[in-house]
Amino acid sequence: MDLGYARVSTTKQDLDRQVDALTAAGVAAERIWLDKKSGVTTDRPGLTALLAFARPGDVIVVHTLDRLGRTVRDTLNLIHDLTDRGVGLRNLADPIKVDTANPADPMGQLAVVLLALFAQMERTYTVERAAHARAVATANGRRVGRPTVVDPDKLAYAAHLRDRGARIAEIVTKTGITRASLYRHLPPRTPQPLTAAVAPEQTAIALPEPGSQPAEQGPELPVVPKVHLIGRTARHGGDPLEAITWPTGYSPTCSACAHPTTGLEEQYARVRGLREPVVVALAQPCGCLIDDHAAALQAGAATT
């Protein structure tokens, strides 16, 4: 049984020409499935219903082969699927006639590949020409795409209100332009230079009198680390294990090698004469872990 299929790419095109050709070829009108969708989309309810209805021995008749799809892969995959199901395919208006229901015709099989390839090439050329036209228009300063819906006079008035300090909500109310359009089309505000009026006497810097002594400063307070109890040892009655964190910027000096410590990394040191390690934030480059050094650093006094 012959089954017809017709498709147009846009709603402006007419299906009547394809339907008339199918009925003239002997396809019953009630056996013709229609789609009014672009070949780019895969949602084709008419084609889906036709494929579900087709049975082995049926022949799908199309006006031209490109009605089945616009890519080589889609068209060939569909033809192969139909062949595996025992469903034939025949075109009417292509220069090379195709009839997959007749496997003894090698030229018809070759034509399937060639016609699908030609359709893909034509679509590729169309896309390339459209892209080239858009690039030329952009280079010549012409706007590409649909025209803006914002009135230039209203946009200029919105810019005037913005420069006078009006808020976006007020501009929307007075101009009728939506907030999104204002953010999209309103030109950026011109930055204003910052100036400050400073009296001449305020720019003078008070310098100490020659021979004057600097003001005495109070005694420097010792740097004391923060000690946190993190656990206790298993011996010696459960002596505390403490984590010591030094203030930022404090860098005590190792008494053994005179290298400064960073106070950022964690190392093990022995304090109070115990053999169990405690975590101390010393990060000594020299790696000195002597008891006296650890005790001095724990007390917060920089050693020399």
Tokens for 152, please give them.
């230039």
- Res 54: pLDDT: 93
Average pLDDT, whole number, for the chain? 70
- Res 237: pLDDT: 55
**pLDDT, tens only, 150-201:** 788 888 888 888 888 888 889 999 888 888 888 888 876 665 555 545 455 5
Give the 3-state secondary structure of residue 88: strand
List the strands of the sheet with 240-245, edge to edge: 226-232, 240-245, 278-280, 267-269
Range with the poorest average pLDDT among 68-77, 179-188, 272-281: 272-281
**pLDDT tier for residue 303 given thresholds of 50, 70 and 90:** very low
Range with the poorest average pLDDT among 65-74, 78-87, 255-264: 255-264
- Res 32: pLDDT: 93
**pLDDT tier for residue 59 given thresholds of 50, 70 and 90:** very high
Residues that are catalytic = 9
The more confidently predicted of residues 119 and 224 is: 119
**pTM value surpassing 0.75:** no
- Res 301: pLDDT: 44
**pLDDT tier for residue 262 given thresholds of 50, 70 and 90:** very low
**pLDDT, tens only, 282-294:** 444 455 544 444 5
The more confidently predicted of residues 65 and 70 is: 65
The more confidently predicted of residues 72 and 68 is: 68
**pLDDT, tens only, 2-52:** 999 998 876 556 788 899 999 999 999 999 999 886 555 567 889 999 999
Q: Kindly state the average pLDDT of the residues 94-113.
A: 74
**pLDDT, tens only, 215-240:** 555 555 555 566 666 666 555 555 56
Fold of 2-124: Rossmann fold (3.40.50)
Provide, rounded to the nearest whole percent, the portion of the chain with pLDDT above 90.
Answer: 12
- Res 55: pLDDT: 93
DSSP run (H or E) holding 241:
strand 240-245
**What are the DSSP calls for 24-74, one per residue?**
HTT--GGGEEEE-S-TT-S--HHHHHHHHH--TT-EEEESSGGGS-SSHHH
**pLDDT tier for residue 304 given thresholds of 50, 70 and 90:** very low
- Res 91: pLDDT: 84
- Res 191: pLDDT: 59
Please check the confidence at residue 296 and state whether its pLDDT lies above 70.
Answer: no
153 burial (CB, 10 Å; 0-12 / 13-18 / 19+) is exposed
Q: In the chain, which ranges are continuous DSSP H helix?
A: 16-24, 45-53, 72-85, 106-139, 152-163, 168-175, 179-185, 291-299
100 touches 112 (CB < 8 A): yes
The more confidently predicted of residues 243 and 262 is: 243
Q: 94 vs 18, 23, 273, CA distance in Å?
A: 13, 17, 100
